[in-house]
Structure 1
Amino acid sequence: MNRTVKAYKNNKQEYAEVKIVEGVNCISGEQERLTISKGRVEKISSGESPDHDSTFFGPGLIDIQVNGIDGIDFNDITLKPEDVLKATQYLLSKGVTTYIPTLITNSDENIHQLINIIVRACRAYPLVDACVSGIHLEGPFISKAEGARGAHDLKYIKAPDWEWVKHCQEISGGKIKIVTFSPEWEGSSAFIHQCVSHAILVAIGHSNATPKEIQSAAKAGASLSTHLGNGAPLMLPRHPNLLWEQLAQDKLYASIIADGFHLPDAFLATAIRTKGEKVFLVSDATCFSGMSSGVYKSHIGEEVMLEKDGRLSMKNSPGLLAGATKCLLEDMQYLLDRKLVELAEAWKMGSVYPASFLGYPAPGIAPNQAADLVVFKINQKKKIEVIQVIKKGRIVFGG
C-alpha cells in the first residue's frame, strides 16, 4: 500500500493526504488499486491476484445509532464539544467514518441543550462535521408500555408532535436526520407525512403497535425498524405480532444489534434472509463501549454492570440488559464468527446498506465517490484488524 504526501492542519491535528490505496476490495474480492484525488476515488484499476496475507480495504463504516462511546455520553448534559471530538476520533479508530449521535427520551430542555452541543462541536471541529451525518432522535414519541419503552424515562414520553420536531430542527440548523417513534399513537400517519416532507427519516421503534398500525406507518412513509427485535414488549402473541409485521413490510429497512446479547442467532439469520439488502447493523453503543469491566452509574441514575465479554446489565436486575457496548466492527466480527454471513456481506451491512437507507452513495467503492475507507488485515485468529482509516482522502487513524 502506497500513501502520502501532503498534510494539513485540522484543529492542531495533522492528517496526511492519501494518493493510492491498494489491496483486496473486501466486497468484490478482487485485488484493486484506488487512485484518490481531492478526497474522492478518481480511478480503480486491477491488481495482482490476492494471497493469504493480503491487505484488505472496504468502505468506511456507517453507524446511525450511537448513544455514546468510550466514556462519552451524548445524553449527558455535561457533554462538551471537545467530548464529541474525542468520541469521533475513537469511532474512527474502529473504522466508523460516518455516524449519527443518538439522543433518547429526555426533558425538552435537556434535548435542546444536547442538540446545541453537538451543533457546536460540528462548527468547532471540521473532523466532527465531516463524520457526523445528522442527529437521531430516539423518542420521546415511543410506547409507554413496559418492555417496549426499554430504559427510556416514562415521565418524558409523549404523543408525536411535529411542531416539537420542527423546533428541534431549527435549533439543530437542519441536522435532525432520523426520528424513531411508535405508530401506536393517534395521528401517527400525519406526523410521518410531516417529517418525510421535511426530509426527516422516520423509524419504528420502542413500540407496542399493532400490525395494522405498522402497515399504516409504512404506507405513510416510515422507512426503518429501529433495532428490530429489541425495544418490544417482553411477551408477544405467536402471530400476528409487531415483529413478523415489520419483517414482512418490504418498505421497511431493519437495523439490528449483532453483539451476541441483544438477539439470538436464529433471529439474526431470519432478519438477514428476509430483509436482504434492507438489513444493516447498528451498534446502539452507550458510553460504556470501550471501557473496562466494572460497575458504573448511568446518566439515568441507576448502576450498571459491565462484564469482560461486553455484556451490560442492570446491577440490581442482572437479567435485564442496560444497553450495548460493542462497536460496529465487533458486531460484524460476531456475524463472521458465528458464520451467519461472509466478509463481503458483513461489510455491506456495516456500510453499503446503511448508506442506501440514508440515501447516500456507498462510500469509497466507485469513481467519484468520497474516499472513506478502512484498510485492514485478517489476523491469525481470523479477526479483523484495522490498519488505517481514511476520511475524505485523508488518514485519520493509523500510519
Structure 2
Amino acid sequence: MREHAGPAFVDLQVNGFAGVDYNAAEVTTAQIAESFAAMEATGVGLCLPTIITSTTAHFAACARRILDTRHPIVAGLHMEGPYISPEDGFRGAHPLACVTEACVDDFRRRQDAADGRIRLLTLAAEVPGALAVIEAAVDMGVRVALGHTHATAAQIADAVSAGATLSTHLGNGCPAVLPRHPNVIWDQLADDALHASLIVDGHHLPASTVRAMVRAKTPERCLLVTDAIMAAGAPPGPYRLAGLDVVCSEDGRVAAPGSATLAGSALTMPRAVGLATAWTTLDVGVVWAMASTQPARYIGLEPRGHTRVRWSDDGGRVLEVAFSPTKP
C-alpha cells in the first residue's frame, strides 16, 4: 500500500461530477453544489468548472448556476471553446453548430455574464481573431491555453507571443492519426513557454506517452487534470455531456456510443496521481505537486485544504481519501 498527504488537489478542467453535468440546461444550482461536495470527498479543494463550446446565452446560464452555489471549491471558470477548430478529430466532442471564430466582444460578454470569473480560456491558435482574443483575455487577467487546435508551428509561436501559456490536455483534442512530424503535439511539447495539462486515466494517453511528455516538459511545467464529466464519481453506464449521449464503460472509458472519440473522462484526481506516479517513476511528492500546488499557482492561487490518499501498491486503485478544508 502507498500513502501520501499534502495540499488538496486543484483540477483546472472538470465538466461535471457525481451524476451532474455542468453544461446541462436542466441542472440546478443545488445539484451542482451536491456534486462539489462529492468532488471534495475525492480530495479536490479547488476546481475550475468547465463550460465547453456553446452559445453565449447558454454559457451565461451555465455560469450563473455554477457561481450561484457560492461553493469555496470554485476557483473560477474554464471556458473551453467555442473558438476552436471545426475539423473532425480536432473538435473532439464539442458541438460543431456552436464552434465559431474568436471575437473579443463575445469574450467580453461571456466574462461579464460570469461576473469576471473566467480564469482560464482554451482556444485554437489558428482560428480568425485568436490573437486579439488572447491579448484581450490576458489583459483581463485570464490565463489562455491552446487546445482543440490544428495550428502550425508559426501559429502556435504567434499565440505564445500574444500570451498563451498552456496546452490543454496535450496529446488529445486531435485526430488519432497525424503526420509523423511536424504536428501540433510536437510543436507544443517543444515550446518551453507552454505548460501542459495531461489526462492520466489510461485511455487518453498511454503510460509511455505520459512518461515521455513529463520528461520533455519537465514535471514543473506539467499539470494533471481530469476532464471529468458527470460519470466521474458515479457507476458505469449511459450519461450526457452538453447534450451528447455518451457511455462510460466498466474500465472508465467515456465515448459516444459506437464512437472512438473520447468525450471527457470518469477520472478522479487521486487515481490520476496514482497512475502518474507509477508510470513516470517520479517521487509521489513531485507528482502530487502536478495536481495541487502547480495548477493552483498557474492560476494565481494557493491550494485550499489538505488531502491524504492511500493507493494499492501499483497505484492503480484508490483505497482511501480524506479531505480537510483546513491545513493540518
TM above 0.5: yes
Q: 2:53 aligns with which of 98, 105, 112?
A: 105
Residue of structure 2 in register with 1:3 after alignment: none
Q: Tell me whether 242-251 or 334-343 shows the greater mean CA deviation.
A: 334-343
User: Using the alignment, how far apart are the partners of 1:380 and 1:146 within structure 2?
Assistant: 40
User: Using the alignment, how far apart are the partners of 1:91 and 1:135 within structure 2?
Assistant: 16
Secondary structure at the aligned position of 1:179 is classed as strand
User: Using the alignment, how far apart are the partners of 1:65 and 1:255 within structure 2?
Assistant: 9
User: Using the alignment, how far apart are the partners of 1:240 and 1:375 within structure 2?
Assistant: 42
Q: Is the 8 A contact 2:311 2:318 kept in 1?
A: yes
Residue of structure 2 in register with 1:5 after alignment: none
Residue 214 of structure 1, CA deviation: 0.3
Residue of structure 2 in register with 1:346 after alignment: 287
345 and 243 in structure 1: CA distance in 2 versus 1, 3 angstrom threshold: same
RMSD: 2.0
User: Using the alignment, how far apart are the partners of 1:140 and 1:119 within structure 2?
Assistant: 20
Residue of structure 1 in register with 2:229 after alignment: 286
Query: Deviation digits for residues 259-309 of structure 1, max 9, x if unmatched?
Result: 00001122211110111101110000001112222234554243x322222
User: Using the alignment, how far apart are the partners of 2:321 and 2:211 within structure 1?
Assistant: 30
Q: Is the 8 A contact 2:84 2:100 kept in 1?
A: yes
User: Using the alignment, how far apart are the partners of 2:41 and 2:238 within structure 1?
Assistant: 25
Residue of structure 2 in register with 1:28 after alignment: none
Q: 1:75 aligns with which of 16, 23, 40?
A: 23
TM-score by length of 2: 0.93
Whichever residue aligns with residue 172 of structure 1, its letter is A
Whichever residue aligns with residue 375 of structure 1, its letter is R
271 and 174 in structure 1: CA distance in 2 versus 1, 3 angstrom threshold: same
Q: 2:42 aligns with which of 94, 100, 107?
A: 94
Residue of structure 1 in register with 2:306 after alignment: 373
User: Using the alignment, how far apart are the partners of 1:316 and 1:377 within structure 2?
Assistant: 35
Residue of structure 1 in register with 2:90 after alignment: 148
Residue 206 of structure 1, CA deviation: 0.4
Residue 57 of structure 1, CA deviation: 2.1
Residue 237 of structure 1, CA deviation: 1.6
Higher strand proportion (structure 1 or 2): 1
Residue 171 of structure 1, CA deviation: 1.5
Query: Deviation digits for residues 314-343 of structure 1, max 9, x if unmatched?
Result: 2223x3323211111111111234354331
Residue of structure 1 in register with 2:138 after alignment: 196
381 and 218 in structure 1: CA distance in 2 versus 1, 3 angstrom threshold: closer
190 and 381 in structure 1: CA distance in 2 versus 1, 3 angstrom threshold: closer
Query: Deviation digits for residues 134-182 of structure 1, max 9, x if unmatched?
Result: 0010000000111000011111111111111111111211111111000
56 and 324 in structure 1: CA distance in 2 versus 1, 3 angstrom threshold: closer
Q: Is the 8 A contact 1:148 1:234 kept in 2?
A: no
Q: Is the 8 A contact 2:23 2:241 kept in 1?
A: no
Secondary structure at the aligned position of 1:321 is classed as coil
Q: Is the 8 A contact 1:143 1:208 kept in 2?
A: yes
Listed as ranges, the matches of 1:247-262 within 5 Å are 247-262=189-204
Residue of structure 2 in register with 1:391 after alignment: 325
313 and 187 in structure 1: CA distance in 2 versus 1, 3 angstrom threshold: closer
Q: Is the 8 A contact 2:131 2:159 kept in 1?
A: yes
User: Using the alignment, how far apart are the partners of 1:119 and 1:339 within structure 2?
Assistant: 36
User: Using the alignment, how far apart are the partners of 2:290 and 2:262 within structure 1?
Assistant: 24
297 and 92 in structure 1: CA distance in 2 versus 1, 3 angstrom threshold: closer
Q: Tell me whether 385-394 or 283-292 shows the greater mean CA deviation.
A: 385-394
Q: How many residues are paired up?
A: 326
Listed as ranges, the matches of 1:172-251 within 5 Å are 172-251=114-193
Q: Tell me whether 228-237 or 65-74 shows the greater mean CA deviation.
A: 228-237
Query: Deviation digits for residues 7-37 of structure 1, max 9, x if unmatched?
Result: xxxxxxxxxxxxxxxxxxxxxxxxxxxxxxx
Q: Tell me whether 383-392 or 349-358 shows the greater mean CA deviation.
A: 383-392
Stretches of structure 2 that go unaligned for 5 or more consecutive residues are none
Q: 2:263 aligns with which of 300, 306, 322?
A: 322
Residue of structure 1 in register with 2:276 after alignment: 335
Residue 88 of structure 1, CA deviation: 1.0
Whichever residue aligns with residue 268 of structure 1, its letter is V
Higher RCO (CA-CA < 8 Å; seq separation 6+): 2
Whichever residue aligns with residue 324 of structure 1, its letter is S
Residue of structure 1 in register with 2:299 after alignment: 358
Residue of structure 2 in register with 1:42 after alignment: none
Stretches of structure 1 that go unaligned for 5 or more consecutive residues are 1-51, 123-127, 364-369, 395-399
Residue 388 of structure 1, CA deviation: 2.6
Secondary structure at the aligned position of 1:191 is classed as helix
TM-score by length of 1: 0.77
Residue 379 of structure 1, CA deviation: 5.7
User: Using the alignment, how far apart are the partners of 1:257 and 1:235 within structure 2?
Assistant: 19
